[in-house]
């Protein structure tokens, strides 16, 4: 699936960031006195979906980069990434429409972790040391 070590490390770093932000989200709900099992289930569901979405993105981009590196047409790789992006977006939309019709998940708690991926990426990039690039040190 993924044989690019940097991509694997990047995924696990972002997944850890999403988990930490999701825990912070649940803590904020608790501090506001709005915590419930629905909030917890929604947050865990959102965290799982956002991590799965980011993993799918990581796999797609890694495969496309490998194809281009091995001499394949760059436009085909770009089209594959764009098609995967559209498919993932439609899949996310379908999943959230179906799940949010259920009353067992808090809607806001389940949607927020989708934003946590971008926040995690931004935080890791902001705190990255100068000698690092994409999770690996330059020599």
pLDDT band of residue 103 (cuts 50, 70, 90) is confident
Is the confidence at residue 94, as pLDDT, over 80? Answer: yes
Q: The tokens 């999701």 sit on which residue?
A: 22
Tokens of 25: 């989200």
Listing DSSP states for 30-83 in one string gives HHTT---HHHHHHHHHHHHHHHHHHHHHHHHHHHHHHHHHTT--HHHHHHHHHH
Q: How far apart are CA 116 and CA 124, in angstroms?
A: 12
Model confidence pTM above 0.75: yes
Phi and psi for 133 in degrees, rounded to 5? -145, 120
What would the mean pLDDT of 91-99 be, rounded to a whole number?
Answer: 89
Confidence check: pLDDT of 88 > 80: yes
Domain ranges of the chain: 5-125
What pLDDT digit, counting tens, does each position of 10-68 carry?
899 999 999 999 999 999 999 999 999 999 999 999 999 999 999 998 888 888 888 88
**What is the arithmetic mean of pLDDT over 82-101?**
89
Burial of 61: CB neighbours in 10 Å, binned 0-12, 13-18, 19+: middle
Average pLDDT over residues 72-83: 84
Beta bridge partners of 137: 132
User: How far, in Å, CA of 78 to CA of 56, rounded?
Assistant: 15
34-39 contacts: CB < 8 A, separation 24 or more? 36/106, 38/103, 38/104, 38/105, 38/106, 38/109, 39/106, 39/109
Q: What is the model's pLDDT at position 136?
A: 47
What pLDDT does residue 104 have?
Answer: 85
pLDDT for the residue numbered 131: 64
């Amino acid at each position: 699936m993924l044989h690019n070590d940097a991509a694997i490390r990047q995924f696990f770093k972002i997944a850890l960031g999403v988990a930490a932000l999701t825990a912070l989200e649940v803590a904020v709900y608790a501090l506001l006195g709005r915590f419930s099992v629905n909030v917890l289930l929604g947050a865990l569901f959102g965290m799982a979906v956002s991590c799965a979405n980011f993993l799918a993105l990581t796999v797609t981009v890694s495969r496309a980069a490998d194809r281009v590196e091995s001499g394949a047409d760059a436009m085909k790789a770009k089209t594959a990434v764009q098609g995967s992006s559209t498919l993932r977006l439609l899949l996310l939309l379908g999943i959230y429409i179906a799940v949010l019709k259920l009353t067992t998940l808090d809607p806001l708690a389940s949607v927020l972790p989708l934003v946590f991926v971008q926040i995690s990426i931004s935080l890791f990039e902001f705190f990255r040391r100068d000698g690092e690039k994409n999770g690996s040190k330059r020599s």
